[in-house]
Amino acid sequence: MHDLEGWAGMPRILLLTPRISGVGGIAQHVRQLARRLRRSGYEVEILSSESMELHLRKGVANIGYAISAALKSISGRFDIVHGHNLPAAIPAKIVKAKARILTIHGIYWRQIKLLYGRLLGEAARLAERQLLSGMDAVTTVTLEAMRYYRSLGLKVKYIPNAIDLSELPREYERISSPQITYLGRLSKEKGADLLVEAALRGLKGLVIAGDGPLRPLIEYAARKGLLTFLGALPRWRALRILAGSDVAILPSREEGVSTVLLEAMALRIPIVATRVCGTIEVVRDGRDAILVNPRAEELVEATNRLLEDRVYARMLAENAYQRVVSIFNWDVIQEAYLRLYESML
């Protein structure tokens, strides 16, 4: 960390994120924000598990990051510190800064409850209220989260997730026919287990790429010939596979604004997604995608409908493309963040 001696040139920004690498939505969001801030002339530093060379096992990764980042940042001075998700709130409160911002990607405590049970979920709910109370601004990527955190008496601004259209591939890759693609974390809140159940119910052509706690289940299903599992892929190849798909499937039980959802929209891939959280704010059932409950039988029925009625599938995909270009485009979201920073200073 370098001390800031007075105001010299553009503001110095510290971005805090548990992870900055990989295909995770938060990591992609922060990478894109940092790139665009630097392009606008800001001096940007990122404090992540990777930048601190932390190698923490799952289950303690978030708290390990929070403690390490707090110790690392305690001597730093910045104009703005901008954390992403609750683990970043602890170092954000400690670092010397003129303004503190925290972006919440979903409703954090509900994600913890789904993953680890009611007790830890309740602890997270109490902790996040205390941690967020010290922020100068809180932003959320979903309207639902904005309404919830405003109900706690916090000042909250809605700035949705977005994608950079220039990063989309011009080539595609076919793995199977049909090709029904899931890209993302292999975990319960993402509904990865529902994909295995869907395959057991006869859904053919599932292609899964990612990593997470349910990886052994996905690997077992692949060995049984129920689906194709590609493991964790670099983003460029994952996007090529998505671009070559007949259907993109998102079976989440809990979701903020899925980057994969936005990417599928921008690539004009027909979408089957669950009727949860941020997803229902991004796509409209029967207009941009087919939305179902997080149940395997509904996922199978909706996916087969899109495979059988390609005219309807193309209509949904074209509507979704127009929507992502006009609303969830990084060129638009960048300006929202810059206005927020200027108002803070």
Encode pLDDT of 103-120 as tens digits: 998 888 887 887 788 888
Distance CA 234, CA 21 (A): 10
The whole-angstrom separation of Cα 27 and Cα 25 is 6
The whole model's pTM is what?
Answer: 0.79
Residue in 3, 90, 12 with CA at minimum distance from that of residue 45 = 12
- Average pLDDT value for the chain: 90
In this prediction, residue 31 has a pLDDT band, given cuts at 50, 70 and 90, of very high
The yes/no answer on whether domain 165-327 falls in CATH 3.90.15.10 is no
Digit-coded pLDDT (tens) for 279-337: 999 999 999 999 999 999 999 999 999 999 999 999 999 999 999 999 999 988 999 99
Phi and psi at residue 34, to the nearest 5°:
-60, -45
pLDDT tops 70 at residue 6: no
Amino acid 101: pLDDT:
95
Cα–Cα dist 43/87, whole Å: 23
Q: How far apart are CA 260 and CA 242, in angstroms?
A: 9
Give the mean model confidence (pLDDT) for residues 19-28: 82
Q: At 253, which amino acid appears? A: R
CA angle at 124 for the pair 121 and 129, rounded to the nearest 5°: 135
Of 138 and 109, more confident: 138
> What's the rounded Cα separation, in Å, for the pair 96 and 77?
5
* Mean pLDDT on 63-69: 86
CATH match of 12-162+329-344 with 3.40.50.2000: yes
SS3 assignment, position 285: strand
Is the pLDDT confidence value at 2 over 50?
A: no
pLDDT score of 5 = 37
Every domain range in the chain assigned CATH 3.40.50.2000:
12-162+329-344, 165-327
Q: How far apart are CA 266 and CA 241, in angstroms?
A: 14
- Asked which of 23-32, 50-59, 237-246 is least confident by mean pLDDT, the reply is 50-59
Residue 137 in 3-state DSSP?
A: strand
Q: Can you tell me the mean pLDDT for 119-136?
A: 85
Q: What is the pLDDT of residue 9?
A: 65
The percentage of the chain sitting over the pLDDT mark of 70, rounded to a whole number, equals 97
Cα 239 off chain centre by: 15
pLDDT, residue 1, reads 40
Q: Residue 59: its pLDDT value, please?
A: 63
Q: Are 210 and 184 in contact (CB under 8 A)?
A: yes
Distance CA 43, CA 303 (A): 46
CB-CB neighbours of 149 under 10 Å: 22
Can you name the residues that pair with 208 across neighbouring β-strands?
182, 229
**pLDDT of amino acid 93:** 87
